[in-house]
A = this chain, B = another copy of it.
Amino acid sequence: MDGTGLARRIVADAAAAAADLRERTSTSPCLATVLVGEDPASVTYVRMKQRRCAQAGITSRHVALPASIGTSELVDTVAGLSEDPSVHGILLQHPVGRHIDERAAFEAIAPHKDVDGVTMHSFAAMGFGEPGFVSCTPGGIMRLLDEYGVELAGRHAVVIGRSAILGKPAGMLLLARNATVTYCHSHTRDLSSMIRQADIVVAAVGRPRLIKGDDIKPGAVVIDAGYNAGNVGDVDFDSAAARASLITPVPGGVGPMTIATLLAQTVEAATRQLAGA
């Protein structure tokens, strides 16, 4: 499954919508990126997101905070962005440091600016099928599945991983589309036999090549949302590809879809806010 090509089209659509918005309102969509500390991977991620924003005609405003910042200062900073009418979307780069209450910081993002889909409100909205922004990676996965016409209703989706921004919301979105959903994780006994039942496998656990071809039911659809050191996914691509009907590569599968979803949701947020809706 070609995430790169689909993401390019989504970003082009977002760019067109951003240009249209700029023409109508003289305002560009603005994404605030908040980075705590200088973790090299996080610095790289944020830069990449800013670059993609620029390419799509989205302004980004970067807020760099020292690693020593406390929870209350971070919460205040994020809350200030939530109230700032010139900011339409907020991305708080994870992780923020162990001494900080990350949940409190995420919750300072107003739901209508939560274009990264990390707040409790956004999670519940995904769970209940209410309006709201989706977590970007799960949202990107759903878009890929739809693009390739993968039938979801009544099919068994096995999600490996249960993080708040990836595994859990991915399961909720699949459940909302009437898949039978199983959540597996580090405590799951006989993981292979669980995965072997799956019509749709979503690997979201962050362990390089954990899932092998032998684990894949012939004809299954395999989504690799893992991203480990050395550009390696959670799935052993070659052996899995031999059995899967569709599979996402790493890189070039889920990764580009995550950023595309972020950009599309930022433009959507700006459009709504500038319409006063």
A interface residues, how many (CB within 8 angstroms): 30
B121 touches A127 (CB 8 A): no
CB distance from A137 to the nearest CB of B (A): 16
B103, B154, B156, B182: the one within 8 Å of A180 (CB): B182
C-alpha spacing A124/B125, complex, angstroms: 9
B130 touches A123 (CB 8 A): no
A178 within 8 A of B: yes
Q: How many copies does the complex hold?
A: 2
Interface residues of A in 137-155 (CB under 8 A from B): 153-155
Interface residues of A in 183-203 (CB under 8 A from B): 183-185, 187-189, 194
A45 within 8 A of B: no
A124 touches B128 (CB 8 A): no
CB distance from A225 to the nearest CB of B (A): 18
- The answer to whether residues A180 and B175 also contact, given A120-B130, A128-B120, A164-B128 and a CB cut-off of 8 A, is no
C-alpha spacing A76/B188, complex, angstroms: 46
C-alpha spacing A183/B153, complex, angstroms: 13
**Chain B residues within an 8 Å CB radius of A188:** 154, 180
A168 within 8 A of B: yes
B120 touches A189 (CB 8 A): no
The residue on B at minimum CB distance from A189 is: B154
**Chain B residues within an 8 Å CB radius of A124:** 120-121, 123-124, 127
Interface residues of A in 166-188 (CB under 8 A from B): 168, 171, 175, 178-185, 187-188
A-B contact pairs, 19 of them (CB 8 A): A103-B128, A120-B120, A120-B125, A121-B121, A121-B124, A124-B124, A124-B127, A127-B127, A127-B164, A128-B164, A154-B187, A154-B189, A155-B189, A156-B189, A168-B175, A171-B183, A180-B182, A180-B185, A180-B187
